[in-house]
Structure 1
């Protein structure tokens, strides 16, 4: 039964919808945590330390954080694999190009695939930048506030992050509504409601994430 569900187009769309909602929930929490940077180094570093001690003494140091990471990695992988396989099926279903290509409904719809690639590459860079500190030239282990400022003190750090967040906004705008359709919550009225929610979520998350590098660039956070 599980194999049949995974092997079907509907099953893959359900996997994409559920994993997308898991990642969206994480993004909301992550954005709220990022905004603590506006309250100073002590508040932001304290929040970062709390994440590592979450669940103690029942869980060991950083265990909760690693559980979240494993769940997120699994969600990203399943989401990406499902998207790729659905894309291949879509291409196989119409091997002959249309004489006249039809324009899709929106820019977000037309760029979902490239947006996913951009976000996948960004995740790798983001981990190397602020988790392993590999590409962050001025990183200081145990000083997350200072490391964020160090990243956004570089022009390339700002460009990479802002471009990725714009791609994220477009991805959420289309993806949230598509997930709602896949999970069977659509009708004429609810379609309008979910499209509005998708637009609001995309705007709030995009602005919420982008305001951090902008604050560093303008000296509001230093």
Structure 2
């Protein structure tokens, strides 16, 4: 009797998944794009201290970049598209990495010991939700003017003053919470990005964390200076 040896069926090749390292690179690159935008946006906001003409002229210049070679607002829309793609890629990468981390440790510890991770690292999730909701509100408020009490296209100075008026203190409070959440994100993101690109060593960890914290504080202070200047009457 002849015995026929059974061979295992060939495995069907599956498309390679994005590795965690690749996803971290995506988060680092997209985070860098959004960080550079935040810096430029903050510097533009500070023009409010130079008066209405300076801020409104700057806002008009943003819409006119590239004219007459390009139609009005073309460059502005290109920036918005790049930011939108970066935001989506950042969120998707973060979600995938978070799910993989949960699958790697499916059983929760009954008594979890505190880890040495920073407060920002442990609050990135809810901070991201706050930022996402704020971005939607901010666009409807100061971009489209839909939720702005003044809401006149091109009158940026007047729109900002109306938005953060003393009687609308709750708007300033919500803005402050969102900007602080951005600060935590920036602080942790800068430090993580430096690690991802291999720019850190054990000896330089404290220095890198200090630099990241300092940059985040400057960014938060720059953004919050505008609503608090309006709230206190320094800008009116």
Query: Common fold, TM-score beyond 0.5?
Result: yes
The offset of 1:188, in angstroms, is 2.6
Task: Give the secondary structure class of the aligned counterpart of 2:227.
Answer: helix
| TM-score, scaled to structure 1 | 0.94
Gaps of 5+ in 2: 1-14
Please give the alpha-carbon distance, in whole angstroms, between the structure 1 residues aligned to 2:28 and 2:208: 14
1:13 paired to 2:24: yes
Gaps of 5+ in 1: none
CA RMSD of aligned residues (A): 1.3
Task: Give the secondary structure class of the aligned counterpart of 2:151.
Answer: coil
Q: Given that residues 149 and 159 in structure 2 are in contact (C-alpha distance below 8 angstroms), is that contact kept between their aligned partners in structure 1?
A: no
Which residue of 72, 87, 100 corresponds with 1:89?
Answer: 100
Which residue of 62, 72, 89 corresponds with 1:51?
Answer: 62
For 2:46, the equivalent position in structure 1 comes to 35
Which residue of 141, 145, 148 corresponds with 1:129?
Answer: 141
**Structure of higher CA gyration radius:** 2
Deviations 1:30-79 (A, max 9, x none): 00000000000000000000001112222221000000000001111100
Q: Given that residues 176 and 224 in structure 2 are in contact (C-alpha distance below 8 angstroms), is that contact kept between their aligned partners in structure 1?
A: yes
Please give the alpha-carbon distance, in whole angstroms, between the structure 2 residues aligned to 1:9 and 1:215: 43
| TM-score, scaled to structure 2 | 0.89
1:217 paired to 2:231: yes
Report which structure shows greater RCO (CA 8 Å, sep ≥6): 1
For 2:89, the equivalent position in structure 1 comes to 78
For 1:156, the equivalent position in structure 2 comes to 170
Structure 1 residues 91-100 or 15-24, which shifts more?
91-100
Please give the alpha-carbon distance, in whole angstroms, between the structure 2 residues aligned to 1:198 and 1:55: 34
Deviations 1:182-222 (A, max 9, x none): 12212134433322221111000000000100000000111
Please give the alpha-carbon distance, in whole angstroms, between the structure 2 residues aligned to 1:43 and 1:70: 26
Please give the alpha-carbon distance, in whole angstroms, between the structure 1 residues aligned to 2:146 and 2:191: 36
Please give the alpha-carbon distance, in whole angstroms, between the structure 2 residues aligned to 1:108 and 1:73: 24
